Structure 1
Amino acid sequence: MELDQEKIVLPTNEVAKKIFGQHDQNLKLIEEEFGVDVFARGNQVQVEGDKRDVKKVVKLFEELNKITGKNHTLDQQEMEYAIELAVEDKFDLEEVYSDVVQVTYQGEKIKPKTLGQKIYIDAIRNHDIVFGIGPAGTGKTYLAVVMAVNALMTNQVSRIVLTRPAIEAGENLGFLPGDLQEKVDPYLRPLYDSLYDVLGTQKVTELLEQDIIEIAPLAYMRGRTLKNSFVILDEAQNTTSAQMKMFLTRLGVNSKAVINGDITQVDLPSHNASGLAEVRTTLKDIEGIEFVYLTNKDVVRHRLVKEIIDAYETP
């Protein structure tokens, strides 16, 4: 082991406090992950340890300084992700966190939180059909809705169509009360929730009444041609091969489609193959169609969700 020490001077004490975290908790995380000693005083930091690890930590501080200099305050989850990337010699955080996709009705800036999410967003920008495949909590549905809202607000499309198969996730819900729309609405609730978060309840209600936004079960798509639309198929792992083909052939002129799903959580009867699983092979060589695979490293929910996914994936 070749020992080394390096000093880092941050621009101001305020920037240093943002990076160090409350009670220097971020410095403790860095020490634990890299096996180095970090000494901080004011806006100065000294790092001591193995030369290779010291260089990674110095580079990490440089990246964190760039981000905080752009008024981005890293939360605990983002700091843990930044450290995880630095361990792998990846330093692309500035590119990720500087990409403002949309501003919510409350003024919150929506940005990708991981490299995988950044790749996913760029794929949607640059391709007419994008498949987002990955585990729960990676932002597949939410970011697709955000991109759809952005396309609508910038006049790239004239309407948004959101759909998902009405498949029970392992439970028998029996006969739900109400008319047909009321019966299928519980299946579509995650799509409503994402829209409400970005646009607010009142604006979403207005756009639904004007038919500028349509939320409907997949069965409603049959026989239609969707022009000038941003179309999202959510929970696509629960489509059959025939349903997937039906959906993909609805796309009309000047339209985009984003198809999301988690092929590890298929709720179809055992004799039905998942259309999402099959399409990975069927369409993989068609230009203009992009497949983005998100992983547990892209999980942005509670930190325990990532650990739960890891536990289920470990034999």
Structure 2
Amino acid sequence: MEEIRIPVEDQRVAMEILGRFDEHLKAIERATGVQLLLRGGEFILRGEPRQVREGKEVLQRLRETYRVQGVITLHEVNQAIRAAKGSVREREAEAGDEILLTTPRGKQVRPKTPGQKNYVDAIKRYDITFAIGPAGTGKTYLAVVMAVVWLRQRRISRIILTRPAVEAGERLGFLPGSLEEKVDPYLRPLYDSLYDVLGVENTERYLEKRIIEIAPLAYMRGRTLEDAFIILDEAQNTTPEQMKMFLTRLGFGSRAVITGDITQIDLPRGQESGLVVAQRILHGIEGIAFQFLTGEDTIRHPLVMEIIRAYERVEAEEAKTKE
């Protein structure tokens, strides 16, 4: 059973979507099988994953219908249902039904969008894969999943996850505590992904045996990493020198995935991002893949997708102004 919540920006839109005496709501529930509720300024959708996806797609189409026409009739609802069902089936067919793994809590992990499927396929095919895209597109999570899959298949003997310890307006030296305590908050998202994929007990056991290693990027200097699955997260916050250092750590039998969002660079003003430089100079080299994920691949709260699209529109307008 899955549940998602979609904020209601305008109560008039919600009333039009529900219809008189909930006529539209009942039609949507009958056609998709989803349970649809309006509570506390949010639409709540409950059901099996496909039912929820179809219900969400119907709501998005009806919101657009209201924006254009200012009214929603049962005819438009039925049209939205047919279109949504076809769209969801088409996306699922493109994404494929491959289950990558099942978490300790029973959640089946699979690519949910065509972009995510292309990303997973690239990890399988290429020694180095760059994944560039906004928050919530599964860049880090899917990389961790593939690392765990390969570890279980004995295709590699260890997993190494690393991040540059850089945040806007902060410096490690001014933070309280030991060096380990200072860098831990920067690495915490990597622990969170591992806990979800492996469970806490398995993760701690692998960390204790050094089968999994989580460390700041600076700790990679001088090492050659063989027979390993290496993930560099938040790569937009590397310098060109750090990126070169990381890429030249790759040893025999290893695979590297580099993830980042070039719209959220926290380096000092005037400092070029190592991810941006790598994208420019490494594109086209055999054995290296660049996968670009977009707001359409966002699997977080529906509002995150709207936020990403809003920023993308503004950035596109600013780019046109500069031309």
Asked whether the equivalents of residues 164 and 235 of structure 1 are also in contact (C-alpha less than 8 Å), the reply is: yes
> Which residue number in structure 2 is paired with residue 260 of structure 1?
259
Cα 1:31–1:309, aligned 2, differ >3 Å: closer, same or farther? Answer: closer
Unmatched tracts of structure 1, length 5 or more: 1-15, 40-45, 64-81
Of 192-201 and 177-186, more deviation after overlay is shown by 177-186
> Which residue number in structure 2 is paired with residue 106 of structure 1?
105
Cα 1:227–1:33, aligned 2, differ >3 Å: closer, same or farther? Answer: same
Cα 1:47–1:175, aligned 2, differ >3 Å: closer, same or farther? Answer: closer
What pairs up with 1:175-214 in 2 under 5 angstroms?
175-214=174-213
TM-score (norm 1): 0.75
Asked whether the equivalents of residues 224 and 250 of structure 1 are also in contact (C-alpha less than 8 Å), the reply is: yes
Asked whether the equivalents of residues 31 and 38 of structure 1 are also in contact (C-alpha less than 8 Å), the reply is: no
Letter in 2 for 1:226: L
Find the aligned partners of 1:303 and 1:234 in 2 and give their Cα distance.
Answer: 24
Please report how far the alpha carbon of residue 180 of structure 1 lies from its aligned counterpart in structure 2 after TM superposition: 2.1
1:56-88 deviation digits (Å, cap 9, x = unpaired)? x37x54x5xxxxxxxxxxxxxxxxxx46xx8xx
Letter in 2 for 1:21: V
SS of corresponding position for 1:314: helix
Asked whether the equivalents of residues 31 and 37 of structure 1 are also in contact (C-alpha less than 8 Å), the reply is: no
Q: Give the structure with the larger helix fraction.
A: 2
Unmatched tracts of structure 2, length 5 or more: 1-28, 38-44, 46-54, 66-71, 315-323
Please report how far the alpha carbon of residue 101 of structure 1 lies from its aligned counterpart in structure 2 after TM superposition: 1.1
> Which residue number in structure 2 is paired with residue 295 of structure 1?
294
CA RMSD of aligned residues (A): 2.7
Please report how far the alpha carbon of residue 242 of structure 1 lies from its aligned counterpart in structure 2 after TM superposition: 0.8
Q: Alignment length, in residue pairs?
A: 262
Asked whether the equivalents of residues 116 and 293 of structure 2 are also in contact (C-alpha less than 8 Å), the reply is: yes
> Which residue number in structure 1 is paired with residue 238 of structure 2?
239
Asked if 1:276 corresponds to 2:289, the answer is no
SS of corresponding position for 2:165: coil
Cα 1:244–1:18, aligned 2, differ >3 Å: closer, same or farther? Answer: farther
> Which residue number in structure 1 is paired with residue 59 of structure 2?
29
Please report how far the alpha carbon of residue 19 of structure 1 lies from its aligned counterpart in structure 2 after TM superposition: 2.2
Of 171-180 and 131-140, more deviation after overlay is shown by 171-180
Letter in 1 for 2:225: L
SS of corresponding position for 2:230: strand
Find the aligned partners of 2:217 and 2:268 in 1 and give their Cα distance.
Answer: 17
Find the aligned partners of 1:30 and 1:194 in 2 and give their Cα distance.
Answer: 29
Find the aligned partners of 2:122 and 2:240 in 1 and give their Cα distance.
Answer: 24
SS of corresponding position for 1:157: coil
Find the aligned partners of 1:30 and 1:131 in 2 and give their Cα distance.
Answer: 31
Please report how far the alpha carbon of residue 263 of structure 1 lies from its aligned counterpart in structure 2 after TM superposition: 0.5
